[in-house]
């Protein structure tokens, strides 16, 4: 079994599978240094779960559907809402320590789109605490030899030459590393990992945008890998922009998020005159669904500020140490002044199309976490549901694998992938920078046909330039070029989907089609890559 990605979705898949099938060996593939890649350690707000006395799975499902703006899959939503409390219990069993109240019950934060406080949290570093507990559990599995962590980038998914086309493993471009507690020593180069099944848990596409809360390594790898293997992609036009990224004075993106839980604790959004503007935009004001808040901020001609001065100093220090300290490193003090904010790319809502067990349209290939699209988020993800759905559907995928895997590997000997010239003509990183700038400008939170068409032309021009540098359509066996290739493929698919959906819904807002269109209600766009 190969798990591509070592965030919460990948770790839950590997651990839950080995709990049920301890005789198996799982290869956990990490694209970067452990804890320094992926989005899980960066997640601040919390994990949405109906565990409070005034909450229920039905309320969780209703809030999720409302935030999804008429586009959620009711079956997926019901499954997530019903099963998340059990996944919280799993995390605590594995050692995750969440904030509690004096009576020992979980302390729950209220975030955008939630009727009640629902987010299980560890101050404002919930993802980091979940990752710590899951990584410690994975290290224990590594000690007994059932789990092996490998570091590198998966570049191809070989298929058996059968009508069913089952995935039989993954081609991995290894990093050269000395090894460590859970990672063996590796030489740089291409290796084939044979596996009965492959889980794609590579995260999202934040690296395609200049303004993002994600790391540069989030280059849409799952879209390119799964699409080229023949798997369907869906809902790619829906990319969520978090309303409150910290805005710098010089216009540069800070890549620092001011968690939604601040607004749940009472912080307000102010316009240039110091007035609250969300009161007239939505009944939930600052805790409206994210696409509503993001659009309202972008509508302010003089900019927007987050004012957290009404939150007591002791509460800021205890519940929000990450954002309090982080804002100060950029010259802002949440305790004494409003701080400037702007929407920035945060979450890929669409992704590799899956069923309720993480299965894609290609036998043997699974997807979970931000890389997957089960329909649970609809057109806009509710706060707290990222960690929730990752745990739920990774667990369900692990159960499905445990029931299906028989321990035998395909004996097919696949040809290795082909690459372009060894030394590209250019390697200055300009393609990546130009693409990210163009995506933020034309494919950001507000779009129109003209901007999307111009963006599509920029992508095509960048692809043509890359082909000239590579000596053809295949990138060289160089990490940067391989990531740029994934970025270009993913960006073009996102733009095409955004152009085709001629309405505004959730995170997809078009000024030339500003309203819902009943023709699009419930319609999912599926994308099949041709090469």
Query: Is 135 annotated as catalytic?
Result: no
CA angle 239, 244, 249 (to 5 degrees): 115
CB 5 within 8 A of CB 369: yes
Residue with tokens 């809030």: 63
**Calpha distance 256→331 (Å, rounded):** 12
SS3 (DSSP) at 27: strand
Nearest to 531 by CA among 156, 228, 222: 228
**Calpha distance 296→304 (Å, rounded):** 9
SS3 (DSSP) at 276: strand
Q: At what angle are helices 8-20 and 126-143 packed, to 10 degrees? A: 40
Pull the structure tokens for residue 77.
Answer: 């939503």
**Calpha distance 290→83 (Å, rounded):** 24
Strands (E), 328-404: 339-348, 351-353, 365-367, 372-373
CA angle 52, 53, 57 (to 5 degrees): 65
DSSP assignment, residue 196? S
CB 397 within 8 A of CB 16: no
CB 356 within 8 A of CB 79: yes
CB 172 within 8 A of CB 150: yes
**Calpha distance 42→208 (Å, rounded):** 18
Active-site residue (options: 87, 215, 263, 290):
290
Angstrom distances, CA of residue 40 to CA of 129, 230, 398: 9, 28, 19
**Calpha distance 381→64 (Å, rounded):** 7
**Calpha distance 470→463 (Å, rounded):** 10
CB 262 within 8 A of CB 311: yes
SS3 (DSSP) at 154: strand
Task: Give the count of beta carbons closer than 10 Å to the beta carbon of residue 383.
Answer: 27
Pull the structure tokens for residue 217.
Answer: 């390594």
Longest C-alpha distance within the chain, in Å? Answer: 69
What is the H or E stretch that residue 256 is in? Answer: strand 253-257
Nearest to 209 by CA among 453, 459, 444, 461: 444
DSSP H helices, 213-362, are: 221-228, 261-264, 290-298, 313-319, 321-329
CB 79 within 8 A of CB 57: no
Residues labelled as active-site residues: 290
């Amino acid at each position: 079994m190969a798990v591509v990605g070592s965030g919460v979705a990948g770790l839950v898949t590997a651990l839950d599978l080995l709990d049920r099938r301890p005789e198996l060996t799982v290869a956990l593939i990490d694209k970067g240094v452990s804890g320094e890649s992926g989005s899980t350690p960066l997640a601040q707000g919390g994990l949405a779960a109906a565990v409070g006395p005034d909450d229920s799975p039905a309320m969780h499902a209703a809030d999720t559907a409302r935030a999804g703006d008429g586009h959620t899959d009711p079956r997926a939503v019901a499954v997530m809402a019903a099963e998340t409390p059990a996944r919280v219990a799993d995390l605590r069993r594995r050692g995750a320590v969440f904030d509690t109240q004096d009576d020992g019950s979980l302390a729950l934060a209220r975030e955008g789109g939630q009727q009640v406080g629902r987010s299980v949290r560890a101050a404002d570093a919930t993802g980091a605490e979940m990752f710590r507990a899951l990584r410690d559990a994975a290290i224990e599995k590594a000690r007994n030899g059932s789990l092996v962590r490998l570091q590198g980038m998966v570049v191809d998914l070989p298929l058996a030459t059968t009508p069913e086309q089952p995935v039989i493993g993954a081609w991995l471009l290894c990093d050269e590393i000395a090894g460590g507690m859970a990672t063996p020593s590796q030489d740089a180069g291409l290796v084939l990992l044979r596996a009965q099944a492959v889980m794609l848990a590579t995260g999202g596409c934040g690296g395609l945008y200049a303004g993002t809360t994600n790391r540069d390594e989030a280059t849409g790898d799952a879209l390119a890998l799964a699409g080229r293997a023949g798997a369907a992609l869906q809902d790619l036009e829906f990319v969520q922009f978090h309303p409150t990224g910290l805005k710098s004075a010089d216009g540069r993106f800070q890549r620092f998020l001011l968690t939604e839980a601040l607004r749940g604790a009472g912080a307000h959004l102010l316009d240039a005159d110091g007035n609250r503007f969300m009161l007239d935009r939505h009944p939930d004001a600052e805790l409206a669904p994210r696409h509503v808040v993001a659009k309202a901020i972008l509508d302010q001609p003089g900019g927007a500020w987050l004012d957290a001065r009404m939150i007591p100093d002791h509460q800021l220090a205890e519940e929000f140490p990450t954002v309090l300290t982080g804002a100060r490193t950029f010259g802002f003090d949440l305790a004494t002044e409003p701080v400037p904010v702007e929407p920035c790319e945060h979450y890929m809502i669409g992704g590799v199309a899956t069923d309720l067990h993480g299965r894609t349209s290609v036998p043997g290939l699974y997807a979970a976490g931000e890389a997957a699209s089960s329909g649970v988020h609809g057109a806009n993800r509710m706060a707290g549901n990222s960690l929730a759905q990752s745990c739920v559907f990774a667990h369900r995928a692990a159960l499905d694998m445990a029931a299906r895997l028989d321990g035998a590997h395909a004996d097919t000997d696949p040809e290795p992938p082909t690459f372009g010239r060894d030394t590209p003509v250019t390697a200055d990183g300009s393609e990546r920078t130009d693409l990210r700038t163009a995506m933020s400008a034309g494919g950001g939170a507000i779009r129109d046909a003209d901007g999307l068409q111009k963006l599509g032309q920029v992508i095509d021009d960048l692809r043509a330039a890359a082909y000239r540098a590579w000596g053809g359509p295949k990138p060289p066996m160089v990490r940067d070029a391989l990531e740029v290739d994934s970025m270009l493929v993913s960006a073009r698919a996102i733009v095409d989907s955004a152009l085709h959906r001629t309405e505004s819904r959730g995170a997809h807002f078009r000024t030339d089609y500003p309203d819902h269109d009943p023709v699009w209600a419930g319609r999912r766009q599926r994308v099949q890559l041709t090469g």
